[in-house]
Amino acid sequence: MEYANSVLDLIGNTPLVRLSRTLDLPGAGDGSAGGPLVLAKVEYLNPGGSVKDRIATRMIEAAEASGALQPGGTIVEPTSGNTGVGLAMVAQQKGYSCVFVCPDKVSEDKRNVLRAYGAEVVVCPTAVAPEHPDSYYNVSDRLASQPGAWKPDQYSNPHNPRSHYETTGPEIWAQTEGRITHFVAGMGTGGTISGVGRYLKEQNPDVKVIGADPAGSVYSGGTGRPYLVEGVGEDFWPETYDRGVADRVIEVSDADSFAFTRRLAREEALLVGGSCGMAAHAARTLAHELAGTPEGEDAVIVVILPDSGRGYLTKIFNDEWLAQYGFSSGNQVPSQTVGEV
């Protein structure tokens, strides 16, 4: 019989799938022509639904080993997103409690996902100053200083990039039989690009590491100007980001990120999140630059798709939401309600 003992054993070893229709390259549709091959690493197939399952496991195991997390302890992290789901899943299976602190602007759906895994969610008012005792920062610091509490802190924890150095990087190297020439990833904490990038460059220093970044974020020279794509881009430099790893950063607008996210769903049947559309759009840009060049003949571009589109159905996959911000859905066939004018 073939089965896993726990969902934790199903983390990682995600597949690569070739992008074809969305690249708009001549001959790229059938895979027989030369030219850049663009392969997407599908991280939503992790059991918690995102790439963050990898760092959750590794950060918790390291804290157990160092004694920072004791049996029956409580994991406290100010997150409501993918890292929260990963931590909640691993914590439950290993018998720890989890408390997530999030601002009240976080949707009820996201809070309920965390609660479904058995985590506690503490909601803080957004409309108070950071020094207020009820602020997001003060509440999470107070909870994290309780006896038995441990805060992973994905923005400074070295086991975040290390998990990618130890799992994601080696998987990509083995899956491409060492033929990868370009690695593309979005950057939030920078853990993915730093860990994978370092591993790949150690195997072959010629591998190019390319960051994809929302216009406005510090990684592409911005000041933190607001953008709508979630999970990527920062207004500060996290400790988990290796500033020497990226050979280049490609800036992608929200409009391009969202339109491409919709195309991935409609044309590649990949229902993924907005940071996936952003990274895949950067990979497409790169493929176009390389097409027709001698370097492009053997180019193998791997792009990370961090999470699923299920978490964005009321945003990126909702035409009204897009229209509110002036974006087009890119639908060739607009959906219409009968009777609507």
- In the sheet with 208-214, reading across from the earlier edge strand, the strands are 16-18, 37-42, 300-305, 182-186, 208-214, 248-252
Name which position in 36, 186, 197, 211 contacts ligand PMP (CB under 6 A). 186
277 interacts with ligand PMP by CB under 6 A: no
Can you tell me the distance from the alpha carbon of 161 to that of 156, in angstroms, rounded to the nearest whole number?
10
Name which position in 188, 197, 214, 216 contacts ligand PMP (CB under 6 A). 188
Tell me whether residue 74 or residue 194 sits nearer to ligand PMP (CB atom): 194
> Least distance in Å: CB of 221 to ligand PMP?
17
**Hey, what's the torsion of the CAs at 235, 238, 244, 249, to 10 degrees?**
-30
Single out the segment in contact with ligand PMP by CB under 6 A; choices: 27-35, 186-194, 212-220, 333-341: 186-194
> Least distance in Å: CB of 139 to ligand PMP?
21
Catalytic sites, residue numbers: 52
306 interacts with ligand PMP by CB under 6 A: yes
Site string for ligand PMP, 62-101 (x = CB under 6 A): -------------------xx-------------------
| Separation of CA 156 from chain center | 17
Can you tell me the distance from the alpha carbon of 60 to that of 53, in angstroms, rounded to the nearest whole number?
11
- In the sheet with 97-103, reading across from the earlier edge strand, the strands are 120-124, 97-103, 74-77, 149-150
Name which position in 80, 157, 192, 217 contacts ligand PMP (CB under 6 A). 192
Q: Which two tokens stand for residue 212?
A: 């994809």
List of residues contacting ligand PMP (CB under 6 A):
81-82, 186-192, 231-232, 273, 275, 306-307
